[in-house]
Amino acid sequence: MITIVDYGLGNLGSIKNAFDKLNINSVISSSAKEIEKATGIIFPGVGAAGAGMKNLREMGLDEIIESLIRVEKPLLGICLGMQLFMSFSEEGNVNCLNLINGNVRRFNTKFKVPQTGWNQVKKNRASKLLKGINNNSNFYFVNSYYCDPFDKKIVKGVTEYGQTFCSVFEKKNIFGVQFHPEKSGENGSQLLKNFTDIVYENTTCS
């Protein structure tokens, strides 16, 4: 089962709706026990990094996520969820989960911040998440900050917003997207379907 982690932030209903449309079973949960049993995990999030980390720690979910990484369960971070995978965020200067080495930085641009709207993802390396999705496809973004991983090889998609930033990363079983696939029409649906394929492929292999 795909489990959508509820840590008090985010449009969980939208993500559930998107999976329902694809006839993929998913469940929203804040229970550590239930999350531990998941086959694949969606780690959503809108809002601020500080509040996100505080909630995660209070609910004991930070340790659960670390243990899931050790057993290599596929994990997809969306928007703030992706950012919390990093070592450190400039937003409120908080330490994050440190699953991916690197920082979360604020846009330094003359454009309006947050970036709000549809922007293109340029595929710069072979990507499991972007399989079957055309290069420069549009996805829906709402963000003031972006991930800057130290290891550039994990960056699979980039987007331009006054500067080039990482919009998709993949490192083993850890996946992150800066945009909202659940709000990105057909391209977003395809991405969630790809993640589901990764999740179940993983199950049959192990």
Active-site residue numbers?
79, 180, 182
Cβ 24 to another protein shortest distance, Å? 14
Cβ 117 to another protein shortest distance, Å? 5
Answer yes or no whether residue 54 interacts with another protein by CB under 8 A.
no
The C-alpha atoms of residue 189 and residue 128 are separated, in whole angstroms, by: 14
Q: Which of 30, 98, 103, 118 touches another protein (CB under 8 A)?
A: 118
Closest CB to another protein among residues 47, 98: 47
Answer yes or no whether residue 50 interacts with another protein by CB under 8 A.
no
Q: Which of 184, 190, 194, 196 touches another protein (CB under 8 A)?
A: 184
Closest CB to another protein among residues 143, 173: 143
DSSP characters for 13-49?
Answer: HHHHHHHHHTT--EEEE--HHHHHT-SEEEE---S-H
Answer yes or no whether residue 11 interacts with another protein by CB under 8 A.
yes
Angle of CA points 85, 91, 92, to nearest 5°: 110
Answer yes or no whether residue 55 interacts with another protein by CB under 8 A.
no
The alpha carbons of the chain give a radius of gyration, in whole angstroms, of 15
Answer yes or no whether residue 46 interacts with another protein by CB under 8 A.
yes
The C-alpha atoms of residue 3 and residue 6 are separated, in whole angstroms, by: 9
Q: Where in 144-179 does DSSP place strands (E)? A: 145-149, 155-160, 164-171, 174-177
Closest CB to another protein among residues 114, 201: 114
| Closest C-alpha among 158, 169, 199, 182 to residue 10 | 182
Closest CB to another protein among residues 73, 183: 183
The C-alpha atoms of residue 165 and residue 159 are separated, in whole angstroms, by: 5
Answer yes or no whether residue 92 interacts with another protein by CB under 8 A.
no
The C-alpha atoms of residue 146 and residue 174 are separated, in whole angstroms, by: 17
Residues that bind another protein (CB under 8 A): 9, 11, 13-14, 17-18, 20-21, 46-48, 111-120, 138, 140-142, 160-161, 180, 182-186, 188-189
